[in-house]
């Protein structure tokens, strides 16, 4: 009797526990079955065999292209208007290319869903031919990405035309693993009406921010500034102060510069000049309700701001000893293993990165052009004249930096925001900020 | 094995296969994974075999916090939910005219998506416009920053979860109440037993199997809390990670940090906790029944 009962309860528990294990694993595990039958990938994967293949076939292909009609799958996370613009551009490619290449777009939901799906597919060796991805998603399976160096060298109109920071980001693993596509940057959104009413100029420096914040606090008793990305603001502020953030060995700012940056940030929060977003989710909601004077967020989020009864202004991020602005948005990575598919996918990438298609993409979505020549088209210039956000982004294009990717970078990205939140709740002083953040980062290695 | 039982096993075969493939196999894999250091699900490589993941797990203050939060959650949500459900079930059962209506209303949370409910509760908890703070305001209580401050994050989560988990318990108890023979109640009425005593001496003992069932299922479910956190705090684990739970921690390690081994170790620890507690629970309630 007892034994039976024990058995039953173990079974129940097994189910219960594995359900939650399933939570972490289903995606990986259900798809894992086929993976086991291709053990061959285990060893050579590290050598990235795919990279070599196109090189040999690519050279002759450049003159007389020999691409057989094929279908290319492209996983993306573009929704709403963004998706329809992408679809339109893709349809144009499908209709116009001479090889009969058909690119099929597959919407994988939000970025988080896409990240999860890609990870599971990498485990099952079932990655799509093309996918949007952030660099830090790729660390576990970067060796499955096709090296694009040869394509870029032999079959791209002008790689130098791509904004330098994007080129750096797309080659940070030591080879070109992606092409930039839907890029945005963090900008300062502000309530222009409120600024004018209180006689505040757009802040250029940290000192300007503090002065303006005091004016707003005295007049309106609301916070001046907020940051959607708390890890991003720590990183950007350090760069603005001429300091470094992290590298593969640990935090790099445990010094006077770091303390200076922490002093700036802790003062903002402790004086009520800056606030956390809390239940409002995103600062676009807070500024829409005029409960904050300005905030730093992604330029791609501009459409979420409802400026009713007030005018929205957009400006480059304020700096300290120099200017520095976070880049955001994904790149497109190629995973196609078949050499014909690689050639076909490259045709598509070339098409969507062409000055013309890129300009169209940028004007219709608000994403930033990835190449200089698009910025210089009459079409984009006209767009910038009307669109304050685009103009502000372009102004700081020279100040872009990207977050380096290494083993601990994902942990750092997820640890720093909650650490900063706790410091804000504790009203901690600058030295505590510095010590706590440095320790939180170094604990991740 | 005689022919008859062979046939029986044949009928069981499909579900056994499904269970082996989707329950037992992943469970074994998770256990193996938990002992492999730096395990990669991509190429199945690992750097060491041993307790490295468990060491990392127990050295991580976030895991300690998730254990603590989950324990508080279980201790608060399961008994409170059972008690309230029991009271409501008895009330619904005694109400003759609108029984079906109330049954439906109270069951709605169970069939509604947690994410949708989370959005509604997020509004109710809103510090400026929320219903909850409005009612507290009627009693002269200052607005509570439910979702903004770390110290209120767990209480908000627990209130939300109690409400959410009541639906299923009420259903179970209502079904149980139908099986209590009317004669016992009639006898009690003849003796003019006070209503409270009828409840404690007749209803509760008669419902004991359902209460045990609810508490076991409820406890298992409560230990696995994740959806509620995700939906209430918009995908985060509350302000400054103040409402992080074990499953949230495991998910985060697996999908965001790519620490597959640590995630597996966390799930094994959770498995052992649930196994142990359920055993204790069954022993205790089992012995009571024998008496």
Write out pLDDT tens, residues A93-121. 999 999 999 999 999 999 989 999 999 99
CA torsion, ordered B99, B105, B107, B112, to nearest 10 deg:
160
pLDDT at A269: 97
- Residue B241: which region, alpha, beta or left (left: phi > 0; alpha: psi -120 to 50)? left
**A1, A15, A21, A419, best to mutate vs chain B, most B CBs in 10 Å:** A21
Question: Which ranges of A300-397 would DSSP assign to H, the alpha helix?
Answer: 339-353, 355-365, 372-375, 378-386, 388-395
Residue A28 has pLDDT above 60, yes or no: no
Contact check, Cβ <8 Å, A17/B126? no
Q: Domain A39-184+328-401, what architecture?
A: 3-Layer(aba) Sandwich (3.40)
**Residue B152 half-sphere exposure, CB side, CA atoms within 13 Å?**
15
**Residue A433 half-sphere exposure, CB side, CA atoms within 13 Å?**
28
Q: Compare all CA atoms of chain A with the CA of B151 and give the residue at the minimum distance.
A: A425
Q: What distance in Å separates residue A141's CA from the closest CA in chain B? A: 7
Give the tens place of pLDDT for each residue, B268-277.
999 999 999 9
pLDDT at A54: 43
Which residues of chain B are within 8 Å of residue A5 when distances are taken between CB atoms? 282, 286
What element of type H or E holds A122? helix A111-123
User: In this structure, what token pair is assigned to residue A381?
Assistant: 């210039």
pLDDT at B288: 59
Contact check, Cβ <8 Å, A9/B147? no
Q: What distance in Å separates residue B224's CA from the closest CA in chain A? A: 7
Q: What distance in Å separates residue A33's CA from the closest CA in chain B? A: 10
Of A34 and A390, which is predicted with more confidence? A390
Are the C-beta atoms of A70 and A344 separated by less than 8 Å? yes
Q: Which CATH class is domain A185-326+405-442?
A: alpha beta
Give CA–CA dist B241/B247, Å, rounded.
Answer: 13
Q: Which CATH class is domain B60-290?
A: mainly alpha
How confident is residue A3, by pLDDT bands cut at 50, 70 and 90? very low
Neighbours of A72 (CB within 10 A): 25
| A185-326+405-442 matches A39-184+328-401 in CATH topology | yes
pLDDT at A169: 95
Residue B44 has pLDDT above 80, yes or no: yes
Residue A71 has pLDDT above 50, yes or no: yes
**Chain A residues 97-126 with CB within 8 Å of chain B:** 112, 115-116, 119, 122-123
**Chain B residues 271-290 with CB within 8 Å of chain A:** 271, 274-275, 278-279, 282, 286
Please count the helices (runs of H) and the strands (runs of E) in chain B.
15, 2
User: In this structure, what token pair is assigned to residue A70?
Assistant: 């094929």
Residue A34 has pLDDT above 50, yes or no: no
Q: What is the 3-state secondary structure (H, E, C) of B125-147?
A: CCCCCCHHHHHHHHCCCCCCCCC
pLDDT at A7: 47
Are the C-beta atoms of A427 and A270 separated by less than 8 Å? yes
Pick A13's closest partner by Cβ from B127, B240, B275: B275
Are the C-beta atoms of B164 and B114 separated by less than 8 Å? yes
- Domain spans, chain A: 39-184+328-401, 185-326+405-442
pLDDT at B289: 56
Shortest CA distance to B222 belongs to which of B69, B67, B68, B74? Answer: B74
Give the tens place of pLDDT for each residue, A286-309.
999 999 999 999 998 898 999 999
**Chain A residues 313-332 with CB within 8 Å of chain B:** none
What is chain A's mean pLDDT, rounded? 87
**Does B43 lie at the interface with A, CB-CB under 8 angstroms?**
yes
Tallying the residues shown for chain A, one arrives at 445
What is chain B's mean pLDDT, rounded? 91
What percent of chain B lies above the pLDDT cut of 90? 68
Tallying the residues shown for chain B, one arrives at 291
What element of type H or E holds A30? helix A2-30
Give the tens place of pLDDT for each residue, A207-220.
999 999 999 999 99
Contact check, Cβ <8 Å, B149/A21? no
pLDDT at A290: 95
∠ CA B244-B136-B241, nearest 5°, is 10
**Chain A residues 257-286 with CB within 8 Å of chain B:** 276, 278-279, 281
Contact check, Cβ <8 Å, A21/B27? yes
pLDDT at A11: 46
Residue A276: Cβ-neighbour burial (10 angstroms; 0-12, 13-18, 19+): buried
Q: What distance in Å separates residue A15's CA from the closest CA in chain B? A: 6
Pick A24's closest partner by Cβ from B145, B251, B271: B251
**Chain B residues 101-160 with CB within 8 Å of chain A:** 122, 125-127, 145-150
Q: What distance in Å separates residue A279's CA from the closest CA in chain B? A: 6
Q: What distance in Å separates residue B158's CA from the closest CA in chain A? A: 17
Neighbours of A148 (CB within 10 A): 27
Which residues of chain A are within 8 Å of residue B278 when distances are taken between CB atoms? 9, 12-13
Q: Can you tell me the mean pLDDT for A396-415?
A: 90
Residue A29 has pLDDT above 90, yes or no: no
Give the tens place of pLDDT for each residue, B91-107.
998 887 888 888 888 88
Residue A45 has pLDDT above 80, yes or no: no
pLDDT at A410: 87
Q: What distance in Å separates residue A359's CA from the closest CA in chain B? A: 33
What ipTM was estimated for this complex? 0.83
Residue A346 has pLDDT above 90, yes or no: yes
SS3 A215: helix
Give CA–CA dist A304/A206, Å, rounded.
Answer: 26
**Does B24 lie at the interface with A, CB-CB under 8 angstroms?**
yes
Which residues of chain A are within 8 Å of residue B25 when distances are taken between CB atoms? 29
How confident is residue A312, by pLDDT bands cut at 50, 70 and 90? very high
Torsional sign, CA A159, A162, A168, A172? negative
**Among A6-15, A48-57, A233-242, B197-206, where is mean pLDDT lowest?**
A48-57
What percent of chain A lies above the pLDDT cut of 70? 86
Give the tens place of pLDDT for each residue, A349-383.
999 999 999 999 999 999 999 999 999 999 999 99
Residue located via tokens 């009693």: B139
**Chain B residues 182-221 with CB within 8 Å of chain A:** 216, 220
């Amino acid at each position: 009797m007892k034994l039976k009962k024990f058995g039953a309860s173990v079974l129940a528990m097994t189910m219960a526990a594995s359900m939650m294990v399933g939570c972490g694993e289903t995606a990986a595990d259900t798809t894992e079955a086929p993976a086991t039958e291709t053990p061959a990938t285990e060893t050579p994967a590290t050598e990235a065999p795919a990279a070599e293949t196109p090189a040999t076939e690519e050279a002759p292909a450049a003159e007389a292209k020999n691409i057989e009609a094929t279908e290319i799958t492209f996983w993306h996370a573009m929704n709403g208007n963004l998706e329809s613009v992408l679809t339109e551009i893709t349809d144009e490619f499908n209709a116009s290319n001479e090889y009969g290449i058909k690119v099929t777009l597959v919407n994988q939901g939000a970025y988080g869903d896409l990240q999860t799906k890609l990870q599971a597919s990498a485990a099952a060796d079932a990655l799509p031919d093309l996918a949007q991805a952030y660099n830090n998603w790729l660390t576990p399976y970067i060796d499955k990405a096709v090296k694009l160096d040869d394509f870029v060298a032999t079959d791209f109109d002008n790689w130098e035309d791509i904004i330098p920071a994007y080129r750096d980001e797309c080659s940070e693993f030591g080879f070109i693993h992606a092409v930039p596509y839907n890029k945005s940057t963090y900008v300062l959104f502000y309530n222009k009406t409120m600024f004018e009413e209180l006689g505040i100029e757009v802040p250029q420096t940290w000192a300007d921010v503090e002065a303006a914040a005091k004016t707003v606090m005295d007049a309106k008793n609301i916070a001046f500034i907020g940051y959607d990305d708390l890890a991003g603001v720590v990183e950007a502020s350090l760069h603005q102060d001429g300091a470094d953030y992290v590298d593969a060995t640990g935090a790099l700012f445990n010094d006077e510069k770091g303390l200076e940056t922490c002093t700036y940030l802790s003062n903002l929060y402790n004086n009520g000049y800056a606030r956390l977003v809390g239940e409002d989710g995103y600062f676009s909601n807070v500024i829409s309700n005029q409960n904050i004077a300005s905030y730093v967020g992604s330029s791609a989020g501009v459409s979420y701001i409802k400026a009713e009864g007030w005018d929205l202004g957009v400006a480059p991020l304020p700096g300290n000893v120099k200017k520095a602005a976070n880049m955001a948005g994904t790149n497109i990575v190629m995973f196609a293993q078949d050499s014909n598919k690689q050639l076909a996918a490259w045709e598509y990438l070339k098409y969507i990165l062409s000055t013309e298609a890129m300009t169209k993409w940028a004007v219709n979505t608000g994403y930033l052009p990835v190449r200089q020549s698009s910025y210089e088209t009459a079409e984009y210039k006209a767009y910038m004249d009307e669109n304050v956000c685009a103009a502000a982004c372009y102004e700081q294009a020279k100040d872009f930096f990207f977050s380096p990717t290494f083993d601990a970078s994902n942990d750092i990205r997820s640890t720093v925001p909650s650490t900063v939140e706790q410091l804000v709740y504790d009203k901690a002083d600058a030295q505590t900020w510095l010590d706590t953040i440095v320790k939180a980062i170094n604990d991740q290695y | 094995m005689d022919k008859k039982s062979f046939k029986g096993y044949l009928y069981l075969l499909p579900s056994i296969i499904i269970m082996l493939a989707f329950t037992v196999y992943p469970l074994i894999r998770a256990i193996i994974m938990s002992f492999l250091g730096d395990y990669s699900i991509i190429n199945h490589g690992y750097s060491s075999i041993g307790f490295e993941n468990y060491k990392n797990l127990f050295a991580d203050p976030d895991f300690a916090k998730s254990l603590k939060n989950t324990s508080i959650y279980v201790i608060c949500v399961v008994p409170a939910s059972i008690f309230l459900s029991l009271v409501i079930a008895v009330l619904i059962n005694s109400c003759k005219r609108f029984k079906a209506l109330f049954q439906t209303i109270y069951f709605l949370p169970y069939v509604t998506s947690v994410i949708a409910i989370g959005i509604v509760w997020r509004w109710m908890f809103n510090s400026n416009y929320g219903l909850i703070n409005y009612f507290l305001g009627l009693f002269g209580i200052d607005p509570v920053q439910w979702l903004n401050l770390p110290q209120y994050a767990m209480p908000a989560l627990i209130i939300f979860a109690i409400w959410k988990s009541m639906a299923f318990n009420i259903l179970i108890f209502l079904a149980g109440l139908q099986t209590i023979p009317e004669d016992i109640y009639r006898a009690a009425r003849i003796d003019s037993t006070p209503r409270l005593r009828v409840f404690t001496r007749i209803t509760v003992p008669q419902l004991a199997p359902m209460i045990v069932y609810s508490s076991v299922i409820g406890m298992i479910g409560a230990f696995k809390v994740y959806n509620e956190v995700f939906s209430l705090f918009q995908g985060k684990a509350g302000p400054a990670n103040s409402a992080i739970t074990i499953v949230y921690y495991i998910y985060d390690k697996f999908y965001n940090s790519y620490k597959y081994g640590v995630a597996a170790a966390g799930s094994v620890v959770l498995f052992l906790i649930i196994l142990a507690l359920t055993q204790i629970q069954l022993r205790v309630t089992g012995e009571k029944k024998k008496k």
